[in-house]
Structure 1
Amino acid sequence: MPDRTPGTPVRVDPRGQRFAAVLTSLVLLLVLATGSGTLLAAQAVVFALGAILGLRWSPYGWLYSRLVRPRLGPPQEFEDARPPRFAQAVGLAFAAIGMVGYLSGATWLGIAASAAALTAAFLNAAFGYCLGCELYLLTVRSRTRLGHG
């Protein structure tokens, strides 16, 4: 369950983000191996649920909280949920582009978008480096510098 005190952003277990990245990587590998726009659409739904409703409502977040986290015990630290939610939105954008490619016959576009999403998911799964989270932080810093934050 996310750690939250009134007035603070939702905080999540970072191990759950890596677990989700592993599952996402596996799904995207299957998409690339099969060229399935339908499977990519299913991954897009997972991204959309995490981005729109929150990480705990993502199917991968649900699996982590029910099956994995109880075996690991409580995390030593939590992280702000906003960067990983933004990363889910970025993943959704790439999945949508890839779906358009696969389903319209522009297979090269489907492959390129799926490969880009796989690269980001793999970086998180293998190394704990969330590319979408870094993009979120750059966006926030840019807005702050421009006086919009």
Structure 2
Amino acid sequence: MYKVSEEESGKCLIATELIHAGTKLFSFDPSYYQEEKTYQTIQVGLDRHYLAESFLVLLNHSCDPNLIVNTEKGLVYTEKDIYPGEELNYFYPTTEWDMARHFVCHCNSAKCIKHVKGAWWLPLNVLSSYHLNKHIVDLIIKNMNNPDLLQGS
């Protein structure tokens, strides 16, 4: 279904056959978490970060993702059909509020946000086009209800 590939940007997962939308690819247990965020963790709650293991650590970012990471259910599934040769990826701000390590995006998508820092750094009109995890929605609401917490204030 997919294989590990070494690209110029590092290791990633590449589809080896057609993977249909809605296909479950991985599961993980979000109840195993740490409080410290790192560049290798996936945020699964307000102060909870799952240390990505196995294939999860190979999922790179894209502003036009083909995967959804559902942190409540501990599932990774395809958002759309993925064709052979395509990289498996997801939109990091759907799980990350303020990332441990920011980076410049080179996905070349028309939807590219250019600088990947986490959901806190993005306007709502951008975030609203993605499947956001519950903890990200909760943090957006918390920040909207407390202007002192809003980014840039």
Relative to the length of structure 2, the TM-score reads 0.27
Greater strand proportion: 2
Greater helix proportion: 1
Larger relative contact order (CA 8 Å, sep ≥ 6) = 1
